[in-house]
Amino acid sequence: MTFATPVRDMRFTLDHMAGFGGLEGGAFPELSDDLTSAILEELGKYCDNVVAPLNWGSDQDGAVLENGVVRTSPGFQDAYRQYVEGGWGSLAFPEDVGGQGLPSTLAVALVDALNAACMSFAIGTTLTTGAVKTILHAGTDEQKRLYLPKLVSGEWTGTMNLTEPQAGSDLSGVRAKAEPQGDGTYKISGQKIYITYGDHDIADNIIHLVLARLPDAPEGTAGISMFLVPKVHVAADGSLEGRNDVAAVGLEEKMGLHGSPTCVMAYGERGECVGTLLGQEHKGLKNMFVMMNSARLDVGVQGVGVAERGYQRALAYALERRQGRAPGVKSGPQVEIFKHADVRRMLYSMKAMVEASRAICYANAVSYDLARYAADDAVRTRSKSVEELLTPISKAWSTDRANDVTSLGVQVHGGMGYVEETGAAQHMRDARIAAIYEGTNGIQAIDLVGRKLQGDGGAAAKAFVEEARAEAAAAKDAGTPELSLVAARLSRATDALEASTDWLLEAAKRDQHDVLAGATPYLKQFGNVAGGVYLARGARAAAKAMGEAGADAAYLSGKVAIARFFADNFLTEAAGLTEAVTAGADAVQELDPAVLTA
C-alpha cells in the first residue's frame, strides 16, 4: 500500500471549510495562494518519501533503552535531520526567535500530514511546539535567548513533564520537589512517567518543562511551579557543557506507537539536577494550560492524520480484494469488495469522519490565528470564543472518530485486518492513545459543559448554533437536491443541539451532577453538528465550482456526496442525542458494586 499525503483535500478544507483565506494580509503579508500551495506540496513530498516509509518499521522495531541511552527506530535520525533542514518546525513561530512568521494553521496542517505518515515520529515534534509556546509566554529574556532559537529550529527538542504515578489527570498530587539554591537555580528531584520523547538520539539536547513544588508550596494545584530543566547544561554563550542529572530509567511497553519513546524520567538521583523557574512561583498550572491547549488541538489533528492513513489503507484493500458477487449473481468472477454496499458504507463513514474532523481542527486553528492577529477587535474577540469552544471538540471528537475510523479499517480488511501483516491493526493500536492523553476525552467534555458553556452563559455555543442555522439556510438556497437534503438534516440537528444547550444551562442552576452526566453525549452532538456545518460549506463551494470551466467534476461531486452521507448518518445521530444529554444524573447513579458483579 502506497501512502499519499492528501494535499488536495487539505487545501480544499483550508480554503472552503475553515476560512483560511481570511488570514491573508494583515499580520501575514507574505501569505498567498502560491506560498500555501508550495508549502503543502513540499510537505507532501517530505511526508510521502521520507516519513511514511518509517511507519511499519517503527512499529516492528521500536525505541529501546540501552545502557541508559534511548535509541529511536531505524531511520528516525535521518528523517528528523531533514525535518530540521527543511525548516518545518519553525513555520508558525515569530521571526525574532528564528521562526518564519506564518499562520499556526499551516503548522496544524503539518501535524496532520506528519501523523498520517508516521504518528510515532510526528508526536515528538508537537511536544517541542508546546515547549516553545510556553517559553514565549512565561520565559525570562535570558531563557528565551538561550533556548528558543534552538527549539524553534528543531535542533533541540522539548517535553512536558506533568504526570507522576500518583498524579495523572489530578495534578494536585504532584510530589516532585524544587529546592532554591540562592543563585536563581533550583535542585529538582522526583520521578515523572509517560514522558513522550523524554530521551532519544535525534537531537543534541532536550529541554524538559517540569512541574514541581517549592518547599513552602501550598497543597493542591495552587502550589505547583514550572521549571525549565535541560538534559545538557547550556552555557551563557549557548554552548553545551555537560549532562544534567536527569535520565530515562525505563520505557513503557505500549499498545501502539512503538517508535515513540515513552519514558519514565528520574530527576536528581545524584542530587545534582539543576533547573530554572519558568514563570512565577506557584503559577505552574497557568503555564501548563498554555502547553496543554496547544497540545489538545495537535492531538485532535493526530487523530485526523492516523485516521487518514487507516482510511487510505482500507480503500486500497477494498479496491483490490475480490470476494463474493453482486446480489442475485450465482456464478462468474468474484468482484472487488468495494462493490458491496456495506463495504462502501464503512469506507464512506471513514471518509466522512476524516473530512469532518479535519475541518473542525483547521477551523479551530484559523480561529486561533484570527484571535491573535485579526486587525479588527471584534473579529479577534469573536474568534477567541470560537477557538476556546472548538478546542475540546477538536481534541475529543476527532480522536474518538479516529478510533471509529481505524476500527472500521480493520473491519474492511475482514480476517486480514486482525493479523499484523496488513498493517490495519497498527493504525487502530496507534490511534487508541489519542483519546486518553492531554486530558482524557471525558475531561474534554467536562471542559466543554463547564468552562466553555457556563463560562460565558452559553454565548459562544449559541453563536455557533446561529452559524449552523445560517449554513443550513445557505445549503437550502443552493437549490440542488443533495444540498437541500443536507440543509434539512443540518437544521434538525441544530435544533437538537440548541435544545441540549438550553437544558444544560438551566440544569447548571440546579445541579452540576446533571450537567456532568450529559457532558459526553453533548460533546458528540456538538461535534456532529460542527462537522455537518463545515462539510455543508465545502459541499456548497464544490457545487458552485462544478459549473466553472475545467472543473474536476468527479472530485467536486465527491465532496457533495460525502457531505450528504455525513448528513444522513451523523447529523441524524446528532438529532437523537438530546435525550441522552438531558437524561440527568439518575442515568448514571452510583450503584452498589455487588449489583455490577457476576
Active site residue 24: no
Closest Cα partner for 454 from 513, 515, 390?
Answer: 515
- Provide the grid cell at 214: 517549592
Distance, in Å, from the CA atom of 517 to the CA atom of 135, rounded to the nearest integer, reads 37
Helix, coil or strand: residue 543: helix
Distance, in Å, from the CA atom of 173 to the CA atom of 192, rounded to the nearest integer, reads 12
Place of cell 499551516: 106
Distance, in Å, from the CA atom of 400 to the CA atom of 520, rounded to the nearest integer, reads 11
Give me the count of residues in the chain. 598
For residue 177, the surrounding DSSP H or E stretch is: strand 177-180
Residue 390, amino acid: L
From 438, 471, 573, 590, the catalytic residue: 438
Report CA torsion sign: 450, 451, 456, 461: negative
DSSP alpha helices (H): ranges in 334-413?
341-373, 377-413
Looking at residue 102, its pLDDT comes to 96
For residue 448, the surrounding DSSP H or E stretch is: none
Q: In b/e form, how buried is each residue of 246-278, taking b as 16+ CB within 10 angstroms?
A: bbbeebeebebbbbbbbbbbbbbeeeebbbbbb
Place of cell 453525549: 521
Closest Cα partner for 348 from 117, 574, 563?
Answer: 563
Looking at residue 1, its pLDDT comes to 65
Helix, coil or strand: residue 246: strand
- SS3 sequence of 547-573: CCCCCCHHHHHHHHHHHHHHHHHHHHH
Query: Which residues on neighbouring strands pair with residue 156, listed in sequence order?
Result: 205
- Distances from the Cα of 288 to the Cαs of 64, 139, 163, 165, 227, in angstroms? 29, 13, 12, 18, 11
Closest Cα partner for 350 from 391, 402, 302, 300?
Answer: 402
DSSP character at residue 455: T
Distance, in Å, from the CA atom of 564 to the CA atom of 558, rounded to the nearest integer, reads 10
Distance, in Å, from the CA atom of 305 to the CA atom of 53, rounded to the nearest integer, reads 15
Rounded to 5°, the CA angle 190-192-194 comes to 170
Looking at residue 26, its pLDDT comes to 78
Looking at residue 3, its pLDDT comes to 94
Are 54 and 76 within 8 A, CB to CB? yes
Looking at residue 280, its pLDDT comes to 95
Distance, in Å, from the CA atom of 348 to the CA atom of 358, rounded to the nearest integer, reads 15
- Residue 120 sits at φ, ψ, to 5 deg, of -60, -35
Q: What CA dihedral angle connects 403, 407, 412 and 418, to 10 degrees? A: 140
Low-confidence ranges of the chain (pLDDT < 70): 1, 598
Distance, in Å, from the CA atom of 598 to the CA atom of 183, rounded to the nearest integer, reads 61
Place of cell 473530512: 355
